[in-house]
Chains A and B, each alone.
Chain A
Amino acid sequence: MKSALISQIVFVVTYIVIFQLVVGRRSVTESGLSIHVIDVGQGDGIYIEMNGNPVALIDGGNDYTVDKYILEKTGLSCNFPLVVLSHDHGDHFVGFKRVLERCNFDILRYNDVVLDGRAVPQSVKNNQKNKVKKTFDGEQFVIRGVFIKLIVPYGNIHGMPKNLNDASVALFAKYKDFEALFLGDLEAGAQERIDLRKLKRMVTGRLDVLKMAHHGAINGYSRELVSELKPRVCVISVGEFNTFGHPSPLVVEELEKLGCGVIRTDKAGNVVIKSR
């Protein structure tokens, strides 16, 4: 009886070990800054890490895909120095909220323009009061050597705004001469409110990565911003067979004309861009 039990335990352990060796987690520590635009379908979920350590999480998509991705990257215990919710739309906050349920974070920033504040659970607001704040335009941090600046073109719009996309928090990240700009779902009008002269001063030559606003929709494209910042890579986070017709073929064509290499998550899956 005892030997049967022992042999069963040995069997189970061997079984798990063999399988983990065959298809197990192969997490390789990357050096430098890595930007992961996670394939969350129609939505946004961006993870930024430095030398394999988490720096920030921006949004989390419409389902729990981001949580699985974070597990692959960080293992079971996860601690983010910064988490940012661009805005309160489901395709940005469902997975974000899921990650907050499990992972620890040092700083949470959001633009609480919707009165019910559904995206940031009340429990999170109550438990970590000192860390959770509505953000303001120009707030900046240096995390693991990465400079981060938050951009809120319209500031905090009180009450229910006409257009929640325009309430998005954009994020600029810089490590050495590598820069990236994440636009949330800011529409063209809101993007034109960003002080491009200030932003250009922080960019060395061309902007390396531009996460396109609003899944490459025509209303999320500002020709002025793209022409000024001259991004090398334009990432569009978009779902395959989405019903909105995103990304707009016109936007993709324009970006290519302006010399920006377009990478779409619906075609490429998870997109990982590393600093030099």
Chain B
Amino acid sequence: MKLLKRNAGFLFLMLAAVIRVIYFCEPQGGIFSCVQSPEKGPFEFFEPIKQHLSERARKFLPSPHSELVLGMTIGLDDLKKSPRFKDALKRTGTIHVVVVSGFNMSLVAGYALKIFGSPYKVKNLLLSVITTFVYAAFTGFEPPVLRAWVMTSFMLVGKFSGRLLNTLRLLVVSYFVVLLINPGNFFSASTYLSFLATFGLIVFADPVENFLLKIVKNKWSVMGDFSASFSAQIMVWPLISGMFGQVSLISLLVNALVLWTVPITTVLGIPALLIPIKPVWMTLFPFCDFFIRVVNFFSKFGLATVEWKMPMPVFVIYYLLFLVLTIFVVRSKDKDK
């Protein structure tokens, strides 16, 4: 009963999300179809601004560099015009980079806090949450952005109230908020890819890095990126295999080689989009170019990807095993505390 009381808010949220999905989505001709959520409509007025920014990027950078920056900073997907690079990203398992993610959100929240001042004032907190909301809306409120916005907002509130929040619990809460806002996300692949990748990062990134440190002894710069991509990959690859019938064999290596350019490109890319000065864009170029060259280089390998669809029983067993492993990791983390 005490447990029920403690989790009443959480249970209420879960129930509301489930009701909303059931209410808006129904089976039609063997597949589930959801009523188009009205939440996306009000943000269409951002489209001309996005168009303007993409023209600005294309003026200073060649393709696919401009598409890379636009994807990383404002989540604009213009890669259909660079199909070969898009294919290279898929083959190397790096397509996740060309979307707005939790990193962007924490970056914008960081900028907002620096501008508005102390996070311990209600006004500053509200302004920061609104700023991140506007950014999320601007990038199109895709499931990964929505998830990141919910988590960031809760983190800000946590900071304000001086409470240390459990990130894993926050992830689950954000999942239900994502469904509440748009029930159509229940059937979206990017919802699950984003959640599983974040789950992997929260649970396994630190243990993997610690394990690597034990083996290698010295901390290398790529070690953090390797641990992060490894933790995310182990959670998402069965889903990718099950949904797309394809697995990238070099994803870990390529991610470890290029991930360091992502924060630099994002940090430089946001002001570059706002200030149309050539030198700002030119500082971006080598990082984007490096990323593109590495991705193109590795995508040419014959065995970069293999066609394989994971059978359903293996899929279920895999995730069950990871659930058990998660419980073990979380308990050992709690013990360490």
Q: Give residues in A with beta carbon < 8 Å to B.
A: 8, 11-12, 15-16, 19-20, 23-24, 41, 63-65, 67-68, 70-71, 76, 94, 98, 101-102
Listed stretches B12-20, B54-62, B153-161, B246-254; interface member:
B54-62
A62 to B, closest residue via Cβ = B81
Interface residues of B in 80-96 (CB under 8 A from A): 80-85
Q: Are A23 and B81 neighbours in the complex by a CB distance under 8 Å?
A: no
Q: Are A102 and B290 neighbours in the complex by a CB distance under 8 Å?
A: no
The binding surface of chain A is classed by DSSP as helix
Measured in the bound complex, the distance between the Cα atoms of B293 and A16 in whole Å is 10
Measured in the bound complex, the distance between the Cα atoms of B64 and A16 in whole Å is 18
Q: Are B81 and A98 neighbours in the complex by a CB distance under 8 Å?
A: yes
Q: Are B82 and A76 neighbours in the complex by a CB distance under 8 Å?
A: no
Output the least CB separation between A124 and chain B (Å): 12
Point out which of A24, A63, A70, A94 has the most chain B C-beta atoms below 10 A from its C-beta.
Answer: A63
Q: Are B290 and A94 neighbours in the complex by a CB distance under 8 Å?
A: no
Q: Are A23 and B58 neighbours in the complex by a CB distance under 8 Å?
A: no
Measured in the bound complex, the distance between the Cα atoms of B260 and A15 in whole Å is 11
- Which of A8, A16, A76, A94 meets B81, CB within 8 Å? A94
Q: Give residues in B with beta carbon < 8 Å to A.
A: 55, 58-64, 67, 80-85, 221, 260, 282, 285-286, 290, 293-294, 297
Output the least CB separation between B159 and chain A (Å): 25
Q: Are A68 and B293 neighbours in the complex by a CB distance under 8 Å?
A: no
Contacts of A68 in B (CB 8 A): 62-64, 82, 85
Contact flag A102-B58 (CB < 8 Å), given A24-B293, A68-B63, A76-B285: yes
Measured in the bound complex, the distance between the Cα atoms of B139 and A135 in whole Å is 42
Measured in the bound complex, the distance between the Cα atoms of B286 and A19 in whole Å is 11
Output the least CB separation between A15 and chain B (Å): 8
Q: Are A64 and B221 neighbours in the complex by a CB distance under 8 Å?
A: no
Q: Are B84 and A65 neighbours in the complex by a CB distance under 8 Å?
A: yes
10 inter-chain pairs at a CB distance below 8 angstroms, sorted by A residue, are: A63-B81, A64-B82, A65-B82, A68-B82, A70-B62, A76-B285, A101-B55, A101-B58, A102-B58, A102-B59
Contacts of B81 in A (CB 8 A): 63-64, 94, 98
Measured in the bound complex, the distance between the Cα atoms of B65 and A70 in whole Å is 13
Contact flag A19-B62 (CB < 8 Å), given A63-B83, A64-B82: no
Measured in the bound complex, the distance between the Cα atoms of B80 and A12 in whole Å is 31
Measured in the bound complex, the distance between the Cα atoms of B293 and A67 in whole Å is 15
Measured in the bound complex, the distance between the Cα atoms of B297 and A15 in whole Å is 15
Measured in the bound complex, the distance between the Cα atoms of B58 and A65 in whole Å is 14
Q: Are B59 and A16 neighbours in the complex by a CB distance under 8 Å?
A: no
A16 to B, closest residue via Cβ = B290
Measured in the bound complex, the distance between the Cα atoms of B81 and A41 in whole Å is 12
Q: Are B62 and A63 neighbours in the complex by a CB distance under 8 Å?
A: no
- Which of B62, B67, B85, B294 meets A76, CB within 8 Å? B62
Q: Are A63 and B82 neighbours in the complex by a CB distance under 8 Å?
A: yes
Q: Are B286 and A102 neighbours in the complex by a CB distance under 8 Å?
A: no
